[in-house]
Amino acid sequence: MKIDSGNTAWMLTSTALVLLMTPGLAFFYGGMSRAKSVLNMMMMSFVSIAVAGMIWVGYGYSLAFSEGGGLSSFIGGFGDAGLVGLEKLATADDGTGIPQLVFVAFQATFAIITVALISGAVADRAKFGAWVVFSALWVTVVYLPVAHWVWWSDGEENGKAGWLFDLGALDFAGGTVVHINAGVAALALALVLGKRKGWPRDPMRPHNLPFVLLGAGLLWFGWFGFNAGSALSAGSTAAVAFINTLAATCAAAFAWIVVEKLRDGSSTTLGIASGVVAGLVAITPACAYVTPLGALALGVVAGAVCAFAVGLKYKLGYDDSLDVVGVHMVGGIVGALLIGVLATTSVNDAGADGILAGGGFGLLGKQAVAVGATLAYSFIVTLVLAKLIDLVMGFRISEEDEQAGIDSTAHAETAYDFGAVRTGVGGPAPAPAPEPTTTKVEA
Amino acid sequence: MKIDSGNTAWMLTSTALVLLMTPGLAFFYGGMSRAKSVLNMMMMSFVSIAVAGMIWVGYGYSLAFSEGGGLSSFIGGFGDAGLVGLEKLATADDGTGIPQLVFVAFQATFAIITVALISGAVADRAKFGAWVVFSALWVTVVYLPVAHWVWWSDGEENGKAGWLFDLGALDFAGGTVVHINAGVAALALALVLGKRKGWPRDPMRPHNLPFVLLGAGLLWFGWFGFNAGSALSAGSTAAVAFINTLAATCAAAFAWIVVEKLRDGSSTTLGIASGVVAGLVAITPACAYVTPLGALALGVVAGAVCAFAVGLKYKLGYDDSLDVVGVHMVGGIVGALLIGVLATTSVNDAGADGILAGGGFGLLGKQAVAVGATLAYSFIVTLVLAKLIDLVMGFRISEEDEQAGIDSTAHAETAYDFGAVRTGVGGPAPAPAPEPTTTKVEA
Amino acid sequence: MKIDSGNTAWMLTSTALVLLMTPGLAFFYGGMSRAKSVLNMMMMSFVSIAVAGMIWVGYGYSLAFSEGGGLSSFIGGFGDAGLVGLEKLATADDGTGIPQLVFVAFQATFAIITVALISGAVADRAKFGAWVVFSALWVTVVYLPVAHWVWWSDGEENGKAGWLFDLGALDFAGGTVVHINAGVAALALALVLGKRKGWPRDPMRPHNLPFVLLGAGLLWFGWFGFNAGSALSAGSTAAVAFINTLAATCAAAFAWIVVEKLRDGSSTTLGIASGVVAGLVAITPACAYVTPLGALALGVVAGAVCAFAVGLKYKLGYDDSLDVVGVHMVGGIVGALLIGVLATTSVNDAGADGILAGGGFGLLGKQAVAVGATLAYSFIVTLVLAKLIDLVMGFRISEEDEQAGIDSTAHAETAYDFGAVRTGVGGPAPAPAPEPTTTKVEA
Amino acid sequence: MKLITAVIKPFKLDEVKAALETFGVKGLTVSEASGFGRQKGHTEVYRGAEYKVDLVPKLRIEVLVESEDADDIIDVIVKAARTDKIGDGKVWAVPVDAVVRVRTGETGPDAL
Amino acid sequence: MKLITAVIKPFKLDEVKAALETFGVKGLTVSEASGFGRQKGHTEVYRGAEYKVDLVPKLRIEVLVESEDADDIIDVIVKAARTDKIGDGKVWAVPVDAVVRVRTGETGPDAL
Amino acid sequence: MKLITAVIKPFKLDEVKAALETFGVKGLTVSEASGFGRQKGHTEVYRGAEYKVDLVPKLRIEVLVESEDADDIIDVIVKAARTDKIGDGKVWAVPVDAVVRVRTGETGPDAL
Ligand SMILES: Nc1ncnc2c1ncn2[C@@H]1O[C@H](COP(=O)(O)OP(=O)(O)O)[C@@H](O)[C@H]1O
Ligand SMILES: Nc1ncnc2c1ncn2[C@@H]1O[C@H](COP(=O)(O)OP(=O)(O)O)[C@@H](O)[C@H]1O
Ligand SMILES: Nc1ncnc2c1ncn2[C@@H]1O[C@H](COP(=O)(O)OP(=O)(O)O)[C@@H](O)[C@H]1O
């Protein structure tokens, strides 16, 4: 069909917006880290862009979004590997009239951010090389299949599709594929890597809260591309997704700081930033299926639940350093399940009716299956993958390097140098030699 | 009418851009604050998003942009409360073909930033809870009516409309509704709260000038959505608004630093950042009504006037901490009045001719009425509101808390922790107890 | 022709995106500077926006993009000075249906960033006033002609056009006009200004690496407007440009840190950020002419080559402080020449076939001519210009001011003030007077 | 001569400085520090985690004075820095053998 | 009384502090510093440029103690701060004439 | 032994360090500070507001030396740090009872 310049304009914009989310995440996470490990944290996000981006062009798009022959319910094939020959196609049959390569690019940014999200669980202590290997493998064996399950169909009526798509589970913009998936993978990774030295005894507070807010702001901004862009067109569905994304986020941010105020006596910056993200996560799967008032309600629940969920790690004893589990996994589950309650076709014919709209418990059931399947698959495969990497190359840095700070030991840099007194990277002295030695820290 | 995907794409983008302005503002203001109160400053912006966003969905849009029965010239009604039933509508009769909910979301971001702008006047010293209450009430009793006066009409010829709309005063993107309104409210609030301890004797210089520039950069970027988005379509009017926004801002930034150079000997970073914002403020109401050369002239005037206006507070003795009055109120007035001089229908048929285009003094008169009405209404109502809040719950923190820093006393956080020596939130010792005590600062 | 709202929406967005790149650049460069000169670095970017923006409206657009009578192959005329009368035009004959003023604004942002790019070569030591004069003159005598050579044509078949356009050299989004041009001008300027005191003996490491990443992130985001926006429409060409921009950047970033790891033992933050920019630079001229796999290859080459090229300055002894030459000049040349190898009309009919697509060496030859001409013209004219400015007003600050830090001596500010102990701007004592003196550092 | 060092609460700097100037002290040097003493730090709960913070921010003031003024100046500092709450800090004096003013090379009490 | 000053590697702070507390020290003051000694710094190569970095980050701990404890405390610090690698730091003691606790005005050993 | 402390202008660090190394000093410790003295600070006008800034950034250098070198070293510092403008700083010496090198446990002059 003919290219629709308006839909294409919105999708180009959305793609750029979603790409910006990963640098935004680097700040959200980096600000929460300690000053001696902020760079490593940010590097994990940036290298995820590079790795997942290259994979996507190479074979990722093809495995996630092409027909996979007999395995089509579970994984795609290599027909579109290298994106060869897609240059002049418009996305065929969906009526949006956007060039195929725009859809490819849009989806690339989802794969990128999903893997980057996981890194928050392993702040301060993951070998950088091991992280690079992990991110490549994880995209391949976890992300691509799950994306295929939920989003792929050949577009024909009664045609082939991913098994969760077939089932009728709703996930508009990636609650299961992105957030639950990343959140539970983060849990698995935190378990394999173990706790940071000193955790939870020592304070490991955010070293730069304005950066956390910067990250939250950029994430919020980019998330409009994520959610409203998932309409693949600039029309009423995008409009609904957009206003709901705003409404739910406002409510969740507010709910989080109210919980803090009541429970702890003060509302914090970290709290409002986390509330923003929790709201965004929870509305993601639901944004095109609920009313604005429904979105407000969903936001309140997500903000309050996640405000409590981030404390779980202290009780259960896993060091999910920057709360990926408490925000993304829990928030994603809240959103996915509340679809079963709040969804209504009055908003979007392509949706379904949840409990409150008189649709009964059927939808909730399907949502639970999708959640459960994603949790189980992602957790198990990630656990195995991480263990394997740990065995083969070691996933964790030495205790000495961790204490000195991973920025200087792994990247030969320190984040800041404000002083009048200029010092070096400040790692442990290179060696007990009486004469100047040469530490190579070239860039 | 049918949805126009191109116009919708631009309005979705614009809405996201304008939303980004408030986090941008958090950095613009936060960087200007002192290190011990930057978080509180940024929190005021972020919580404004949450509060105004929820109100907008609840009843704000309805009061501002729906028909209000007998009071229609002054305020809307509750017909669209909760946005119920707007999901599938396109904006009716204006020919732009954007979904109604996109217009709702776009306007939400205006309400949000307007109230956030005010917070710059009360840096370091406002109770956070009181700010939250203030922001909710202020949006309701000041913003919604003024927005209704200026922008609402039922779309019929000789139909109903807000009284300033009826009058024929021009305000393309919100010079009166947003900037003059916020600026004069800031003045009222600064008067009610009083001066910071030590002001103006002590230096209270920006603690992080790069953040100020970051804020200015994000504001500038987002402002293209604010101004060119106010065309509600992607066509010639948006194009004019866009280039004028660029031209005026360049001129104002340059004018400001030239004034500094001549007057003080050096051009400063704070100066160029402030000049950018002054230019943006001043061109806001005028951007679709003047030529690019007119915009350059308007920018020069705005930059130079505001560069002097920010010094006024020292002469008059009100502590408008981050120059909301000097930049937004004064810049807004400059822009609104210069429309009366520079506007020309050669640029936009929907505009009018000012003095230079041979339109006489009529337009200038109308502009003056709109400015005067907004100044008077906003100042008085804000003053009363703030006094009331002060009486009921106290608007200002204790002197001791102010000195120790509002970040640690109100939010139990400090913005930065760069040191090798890790310390706590650093507020005053919790209590003279010989044994460890527990300060609850959970988040 | 009629306005196309979709194309216009995308071009409005792209223009805003490209404008954001210059503040992004301010952070990329500012983070790499030392703490005592970050503000000056950022000011150079911001003032470039102001200066180039005003010039563009005044006469810049006209000289670059209008018909220049007998000199039309080399420079435009003054027919469109002041943009008078362009308000209601759509861009005439190119079929994109965007308003003329949108094209004007889009191109303005290119002129702006090109001059700002140069400033990285003269960190810490250029008189601010001299920089302002330089930026105005450089845009006029270097940028405008080169842009005219490469991009201007009157749209008629066999009509008039810039001489490089005529030649058939390909530069989709500005590899020669922007990057090679700025890169070689940076070299000339670094030679005229000389080395920083202490360079290369003293460490002059980035003072704020998160800012470098922030800059890289914003540049990347904005660059999608730069490259995909250069299609001037939202269709297949933009789609190709977009995915290629992503692919090449991922590959270049990864290649750079692999080089570092192999050569130096660690991958650095500065490395990945530089790799991102190197990839963006190199794909810029090529993005609409190669396949995604071609873009990956081009990215790998660009990342690796530039990772070595930034070390050249130490061998050759010019103080290109923030690696403008090594990244923009070298990266730009890599991209421009690789078009001759990788271009294929299978992607874009408006392109040409390079060596691999069976087009022979002809295209490579044309590319080499365009590169050579830009290098020669820009280098020589910039050298003369800088020397002249140096003679007339002095281009470099005093050694004492440089040592004390240009932020405090030229702008009367310091970037940060985190301390509990509040100090002043910290420049050398104003004068040996026993009584308080007044240093004017007003803003 | 003596070197008097005072570790005080940061927000008391202005008062201490003012008091010293009133007394006639001609110069002083300030730096940032952190410490603990009786004020053993405190336990903070942040985002559900409880931990002990035992170093509290302080400022460290150094003043070179003539020996005969030492006691009075200690007194002045103590008075100005006191809040009567735990953590108010310490002041101590050590003997100084020599002092030189860099600019002029003056030594001894003239250099103060 | 004595003032003991120790310049140590930053990451040794916790151990030194713990050792001092175990010994019975009631307070201390910490500040950031940088220094060089035998550990002459090192040469770094960054982005192709080679340069000498000669100041290495350290922490500076000050403890006021009774004269008779000084030697033991020096010992305790030395043991806790030692890594046997170059750059471990210095500890020194200077005589103190007077100490006052700001909060109470107590002086002498009572003020420690 | 003596502990020599010098408060100097920040940009003089390199010169002072070089001079001390030439003299044969084996180590030193640097920290950031701010201070005032004759150089009473100055009045600044920023954005229309006038205020007094009275603390100016300085660096604080500490060097442990053998007693007999103390005077010479003070001299070396004073020469290197001098700009002849107000605010050049102070140098002082206090007696030291004991010095220990952490790494080896050496004491006295050997530990310097
Ligand atoms: N023995 C000591 N040696 C060095 N500094 C000390 C010592 N005791 C206390 N201090 C410093 O004095 C500060 C206040 O001491 P603290 O005992 O908490 O207060 P108070 O003296 O009011 O009981 C500490 O934070 C620490 O910096
Ligand atoms: N003479 C000195 N005066 C002051 N401080 C010193 C002196 N010598 C060493 N230091 C401090 O002690 C630290 C460690 O000294 P160094 O000689 O490197 O280690 P080591 O004693 O193990 O050989 C230095 O970084 C410096 O801060
Ligand atoms: N009495 C003092 N005690 C401690 N430090 C002092 C004293 N006098 C001056 N200083 C330090 O020396 C620095 C320079 O002193 P100042 O009197 O301004 O210069 P000059 O000695 O050249 O007149 C001050 O900033 C302060 O840090």
pLDDT at B429 exceeding the cut of 90: no
Whether residue B87 contacts residue B159, with contact meaning beta carbons closer than 8 Å, is answered with no
Q: Which residues of F touch A421 (CB under 8 A)?
A: 10, 13, 30-32, 59
Residue type for position A355: I
Inter-chain residue contact D28 with F34, CB threshold 8 Å: no
The protein residue with its alpha carbon nearest to ligand 3, atom 8, reads D27
Q: How far does the CA of residue E11 sit from the closest CA of chain B (Å)?
A: 8
The long-range contacts involving A393-401, CB below 8 angstroms and separated by at least 24 positions, are: A393/A127, A393/A129, A393/A130, A393/A133, A394/A127, A394/A130, A395/A126, A395/A127, A395/A130, A395/A134, A395/A192, A395/A193, A396/A125, A396/A126, A396/A127, A396/A193, A396/A194, A397/A125, A397/A126, A397/A127, A399/A197, A400/A428
Q: Where are the beta strands (DSSP E) in chain E?
A: 2-8, 28-36, 42-46, 49-53, 56-65, 90-95, 98-101
Q: Which residue, chain included where needed, has tokens 């190197």?
A: C278
Choose one of E34, E40, E90, E94 to mutate for the ligand 2 pocket test, by most ligand atoms within 8 angstroms of C-beta. Answer: E90
Q: Which residue, chain included where needed, has tokens 């996305």?
A: A91
Helix ranges, A195-235 (H)? 209-229
Q: Which residues of A sit within 8 Å Cβ distance of D?
A: 200-203, 205, 264, 270, 310-314, 323
The protein residue with its alpha carbon nearest to ligand 1, atom 17, reads D37
Q: How far does the CA of residue A125 sit from the closest CA of chain C (Å)?
A: 16
pLDDT at B91: 65
Task: Report chain F's C-alpha Rg in angstroms.
Answer: 17
**What is the distance in A from the centroid of ligand 2 to the CA of D4?**
24
**What is the distance in A from the centroid of ligand 2 to the CA of E88?**
8
Question: Furthest-apart CA pair in chain E: how many Å?
Answer: 59
Cα–Cα distance, C198 to C189 (Å, whole number): 18
pLDDT at C95 exceeding the cut of 80: no
Residues framing ligand 2 (Cβ under 6 A) = E 7, 35-39, 56, 58, 86-90; F 26-29, 62-64, 101-103, 112
Cα–Cα distance, B122 to E16 (Å, whole number): 44
Inter-chain residue contact F33 with D28, CB threshold 8 Å: no
Whether residue C400 contacts residue C406, with contact meaning beta carbons closer than 8 Å, is answered with no
Band of residue B435 on the pLDDT scale cut at 50, 70, 90? very low
Q: How far does the CA of residue F61 sit from the closest CA of chain E (Å)?
A: 9
Q: What is the DSSP string of B314-370?
A: HHHT---TT-HIIIIIHHHHHHHHHHHHH--TTT-TTS---TTTT-TTHHHHHHHHH
Task: Give mean pLDDT, residues A83-98.
Answer: 77
pLDDT at A435: 35
The protein residue with its alpha carbon nearest to ligand 3, atom 14, reads F89
pLDDT at B400: 86
Band of residue A120 on the pLDDT scale cut at 50, 70, 90? very high
Inter-chain residue contact F46 with B205, CB threshold 8 Å: yes
Band of residue C155 on the pLDDT scale cut at 50, 70, 90? confident
pLDDT at D87 exceeding the cut of 50: yes
In order of A116, A215, B425, the CA distances from A178 in angstroms are: 10, 18, 35
Q: What is the ipTM of this complex?
A: 0.91
Q: Which residues of C touch E46 (CB under 8 A)?
A: 203, 205
Q: What is the pTM of this model?
A: 0.93
**Phi-psi sector, D93: left (phi>0), alpha (psi -120 to 50), beta:** beta
Closest to B297 measured CA to CA, from C51, C61, C19, C54: C54
Q: How far does the CA of residue B425 sit from the closest CA of chain D (Å)?
A: 9
Whether residue A98 contacts residue A3, with contact meaning beta carbons closer than 8 Å, is answered with yes
Q: Express each pLDDT in B242-267 by its tens digit.
A: 999 999 999 999 999 999 999 988 99
Inter-chain residue contact B236 with C3, CB threshold 8 Å: yes
List the CATH code of the domain at B5-221+232-400. 1.10.3430.10
Q: Express each pLDDT in F55-94 by its tens digit.
A: 888 999 999 999 999 999 999 999 999 999 888 999 999 9
Helix ranges, E24-112 (H)? 70-81
Neighbours of chain E (3+ CB pairs under 8 A): A, B, C, D, F
Choose one of E5, E76, E101, E104 to mutate for the ligand 1 pocket test, by most ligand atoms within 8 angstroms of C-beta. Answer: E101
Which numbered atom of ligand 3 lies nearest the CA of D112? 1
Q: Express each pLDDT in B267-313 by its tens digit.
A: 999 999 999 999 999 999 999 999 999 999 999 999 999 999 999 99
User: Which token pair is F97?
Assistant: 């009872």
Which numbered atom of ligand 2 lies nearest the CA of E55? 25
Among the partner residues F27, F31, F98, nearest to E36 by beta-carbon distance: F27
pLDDT at B251: 98
Percentage of residues of chain F with pLDDT beyond 70: 87
pLDDT at A434 exceeding the cut of 70: no
Residues framing ligand 3 (Cβ under 6 A) = D 26-29, 62-64, 101, 103, 112; F 7, 35-39, 56, 58, 86-90
Among the partner residues D44, D48, D52, nearest to A311 by beta-carbon distance: D48
User: Where in chain B are the domains?
Assistant: 5-221+232-400
Band of residue B94 on the pLDDT scale cut at 50, 70, 90? low
Residues of chain E short of pLDDT 50, as ranges, are none
Q: How far does the CA of residue E80 sit from the closest CA of chain F (Å)?
A: 9
For chain F, give the mean pLDDT. Answer: 89
For chain B, give the mean pLDDT. Answer: 92
How many A×F Cβ pairs under 8 Å? 12
For chain C, give the mean pLDDT. Answer: 92
Q: How far does the CA of residue F31 sit from the closest CA of chain E (Å)?
A: 4
Among all bound ligands, the one having the nearest atom to the CA of D99 is: 3
Write the secondary structure of B145-158 as one string of H (helix), E (strand) and C (coil). Answer: HHHHHHHCECCCCC
**What is the distance in A from the centroid of ligand 1 to the CA of E29?**
7
Q: Express each pLDDT in A121-169 by its tens digit.
A: 999 999 999 999 999 999 999 999 999 999 999 877 778 999 999 999 9
How many D×F Cβ pairs under 8 Å? 82
Q: Which residues of D touch E24 (CB under 8 A)?
A: none
Reply yes or no: is the peptide bond before residue B200 cis, omega within 30 of 0: yes
Closest residue in C to B418 (Cα–Cα):
C418
Residues framing ligand 1 (Cβ under 6 A) = D 7, 35-39, 56, 58, 86-90; E 26-29, 62-64, 101-103, 112
pLDDT at D36 exceeding the cut of 90: no
- Burial label for F32, CB within 10 Å (0-12, 13-18, 19+), is buried
Q: Which residues of E touch B419 (CB under 8 A)?
A: 32
Q: Express each pLDDT in A368-398 by its tens digit.
A: 999 999 999 999 999 999 999 999 999 999 9
Closest to A156 measured CA to CA, from A72, A201, A94: A94
User: Which token pair is B324?
Assistant: 């909301």
pLDDT at C442 exceeding the cut of 70: no
pLDDT at A94: 64
Residue type for position C132: V
Inter-chain residue contact B313 with F44, CB threshold 8 Å: no
- Burial label for A378, CB within 10 Å (0-12, 13-18, 19+), is buried
User: Which token pair is C369?
Assistant: 């001519």
Sign of the dihedral defined by the CA atoms of residues B27, B31, B36, B41, in that order: negative
3-state secondary structure of A140: helix
Q: Which of B131-145, C155-169, C257-271 has the lowest mean pLDDT?
A: C155-169
Neighbours of chain A (3+ CB pairs under 8 A): B, C, D, E, F
